[in-house]
Structure 1
Amino acid sequence: MKAWMRSARKATCKSLGLALTLVAAATSAVAQNGPVKLGVLTDMSSLYADNGGQGSVVAAQMAVDDFKGRVLGREIQIVAGDHQNKADIGSVIARRWLENENVEAILDVPNSAVALAVQGITRDKKKLFLATGAATSRLTGDECSPTGIHWTYDTYALSQGATKAISKLGAKTWFFLSADYSLGAQLEADSRKVIDATGGKVVGAVKHPINTPDFSSFLLQAQASKADVIALADAGGDFINAVKQAGEFGVTRGQKLAGLIVFIADIHSLGLPSAQGLMLSSAFYWDLNDETRAWSKRFIAKTGKVPTMIHAGTYGAVMHYLKAVEAAGTLDGPTVADKMRELPVNDFMTRNGKIRQDGRLVRDMYLFRVKSPEQSKYRFDYYELLATIPGEEAFKPMEDGGCPFLKKS
């Protein structure tokens, strides 16, 4: 009897082992032959939803469609998630995608704290992170990654454009109103360096919680400082609310407001009467040339909204990633990342762009002034181009970034 039971147990164990082997083989086959999944991790419901959000999903799908929907003989699929501007939620989604759902690359992530968390996860998993929505320059600095590509813009480039331009117009004293998380801290830090270099002085600073509805106490402190410029080191809904409330408090009658990270969706929400005269730095404007207009008209037809630089960047990053996968003949993260660095970037947004070893896409940036209502002649006619800033001037030199893995190469 005991011998029979032992034999039965052995048979059961063998059957179970065979079943597990078959399941593993089937899972592996699905991973190798199923769709190539790209995950757009974004803000679907809060202060960055207009700048990224569903528009980033649409832009990514436009790139997939333009690539004819397949790569290496497999269907390409876009999946989307809402990080809710919380690093823990973003991390859970990123891990689930990479570990359980065979996602090959993560895109967008318009929140610097969430982006830094995702960069760490993708670095460990050797998967691609195409940061098209995040701003912090730490993504190519102390938190850089061999499989991380910082695509659209960063805090250094934005502060270089706006802060330098305003300083040249005679502004000497500054007060910072900064969002109390990674984005605000990095924007302020990068801008302070420019102010110091141009002989200006920071006379005060205050931090505000992310997504706060009430800026009154912060704006009163800024007003009391009598600074020439109040620099808004925040974005999305925070930037919009700060500008609106500054107007209500009469702050702008004696002081200039400077937005350090401004999207065209913000200007659309504010309206030209409130936003006119604001100078800003941007990586993209829909009405810049024939190519930007052609792509933007397609985007507007699908969404009814004007595309932001995040939307344009997401399209470009997906397209370049797919070209690199095809050229490399593999989905292996480090191999594809190397191929992305090797290939020049050319699309409606970027001319002869180059991805450096630290992951920074070096491309031109632009300085714009928001038009007055009288200057605007048609729908979304919001910006006047003041200057084109060459990429080599706009972005921090790689040797100054502090990317640790460069020392090992």
Structure 2
Amino acid sequence: MALAVNEVTRGSKAALLASAATNVDLIGKACSPNTVMWTTDSWALSNTAAKVVVGSGKKKWFFLTTDFAGGIGLEKGASAAVSAAGGEVIGRVRFPFDTMDFASYLLQAQGSGAQAIGLAVAGAQLLNVLKQADEFGLGRGDQKLVGLAVFLTDVRAIGLKATQGMQLASAYYWDLNDDTRAFARRFAARTNGKYPTQMQAGAYASLLHYLKAADASASLDGQEMVRKMKELPTDDPAFGKATIRQDGRTMVDQFLFEVKSPAESKGEWDLYKLVKRVPAMEVYLPLGEGGCAMTVGAK
């Protein structure tokens, strides 16, 4: 969807603020002077998780992957990051998007000898994978489940019993500092007590920066607005200070979190504990390597 909207807005008077899309082509071969990509992407999610988990000693990986572009993209990005960090991919299985019974796949992962099980799965299918993984005891003991596209609402929906100990990458979590906590409380006051995901925080932050650019610009033309957004440093309560690269990538830091156990959690939304903060420069697709025409010659 984001790639389609990206083409509709290209060259128009509109600006596309992509806060929930993760397809790295938006800052690569499909980059547009009308588009800014906020929050995270498949490259950053994969690299953050792989870099930190391999660094902790979990070097042998097995992937459970949904057999479509999104899942395969996550798996490929994470596989490359695992290898670059000194790890090894010892196996993988891919399953159709409509799969409901994951028993055989989970048993393969469990018996593979892998130290980390990478989950290149998202949405409703992720919920089924995690519920069934809990039944098999996958991810307990020496094996670590690593979610490559897991969000706060996924963990809350499944529950801590089935997700405890899983590690995942995210650009935002409500309990990081005083600013993120204050923003989450404001959000919850307007949403019947629900706390923001990283994508909702990205929607807020990108629009806030757009409005600041509008104040500083003589034109509301889409390309002019994006140019002004890149010119101005960002500063918002969800992500703090950052910059926007030539290719439209907003350079916010990434984090690796571990899901708390039921005993560790002190409330309905107290779901994560921080493992490590990773600077943006270490985890995003390097500028000029994604095929973006706007970055020719850039370093």
User: Is the alpha carbon distance of 1:123 and 1:203 closer, same or farther for their aligned partners in structure 2, counting shifts above 3 Å?
Assistant: same
**SS of match in other structure, 1:361:** coil
Match of 1:64 in 2: none
d(CA) in 2 for partners of 1:253, 1:320: 42
1:298 is aligned to 2:186: yes
Verify the 8 A CA contact 1:230 1:257 in the aligned structure 2. Answer: yes
- One-letter amino acid matched to 1:363: V
1:316 is aligned to 2:210: no
1:406 is aligned to 2:285: no
Match of 1:334 in 2: 223
**SS of match in other structure, 1:163:** helix
Where in structure 2 are there 5+ consecutive unaligned residues?
none
Deviation at 1:126, TM superposition (A): 5.2
Which stretch has the larger CA shift, 249-258 or 230-239? 249-258
1:391 is aligned to 2:280: yes
- One-letter amino acid matched to 1:354: T
- Given candidates 239, 247, 251, the residue that maps to 1:362 is 251
1:182 is aligned to 2:69: yes
1:264 is aligned to 2:152: yes
Deviation at 1:179, TM superposition (A): 2.3
**SS of match in other structure, 1:157:** helix
- Given candidates 12, 37, 59, the residue that maps to 1:150 is 37
- One-letter amino acid matched to 1:274: A
Match of 2:177 in 1: 289
- One-letter amino acid matched to 1:302: R
User: Is the alpha carbon distance of 1:252 and 1:367 closer, same or farther for their aligned partners in structure 2, counting shifts above 3 Å?
Assistant: closer
The sequence identity of aligned pairs, in percent, is 47
d(CA) in 1 for partners of 2:121, 2:51: 18
**SS of match in other structure, 1:207:** strand
Matches within 5 A, 1:34-49: none
Match of 2:127 in 1: 240
1:280 is aligned to 2:168: yes
- One-letter amino acid matched to 2:2: A
1:347 is aligned to 2:236: yes
- Given candidates 4, 7, 19, the residue that maps to 1:132 is 19
Q: Which has the larger radius of gyration?
A: 1
Deviation at 1:213, TM superposition (A): 3.1
- One-letter amino acid matched to 2:228: K
Deviation at 1:217, TM superposition (A): 3.7
**SS of match in other structure, 2:236:** coil
- One-letter amino acid matched to 2:71: G
Deviation at 1:232, TM superposition (A): 0.5
Verify the 8 A CA contact 1:211 1:237 in the aligned structure 2. Answer: no
1:163 is aligned to 2:47: no
**SS of match in other structure, 1:358:** coil
- One-letter amino acid matched to 2:160: L
**SS of match in other structure, 1:355:** coil
- One-letter amino acid matched to 1:214: D
Deviation at 1:132, TM superposition (A): 0.3
- One-letter amino acid matched to 2:217: A
d(CA) in 1 for partners of 2:234, 2:284: 16
- One-letter amino acid matched to 2:154: D
d(CA) in 2 for partners of 1:120, 1:208: 30
1:228 is aligned to 2:120: no
Aligned length: 296
What whole-Å deviation, never above 9, does each CA across 1:111-153 have from its counterpart, x for those lacking one?
xxx2222222222535311110011211111111111111010
d(CA) in 1 for partners of 2:200, 2:222: 23
Deviation at 1:301, TM superposition (A): 2.1
Match of 2:82 in 1: 195
Deviation at 1:408, TM superposition (A): 8.9
d(CA) in 2 for partners of 1:295, 1:211: 37
Higher share in helix: 1
- One-letter amino acid matched to 1:355: I
Structure ranking higher on relative contact order (CA contacts 8 Å, 6+ apart): 2
**SS of match in other structure, 1:242:** helix
Verify the 8 A CA contact 2:51 2:81 in the aligned structure 1. Answer: yes
What whole-Å deviation, never above 9, does each CA across 1:153-177 have from its counterpart, x for those lacking one?
0112111221122112222322211
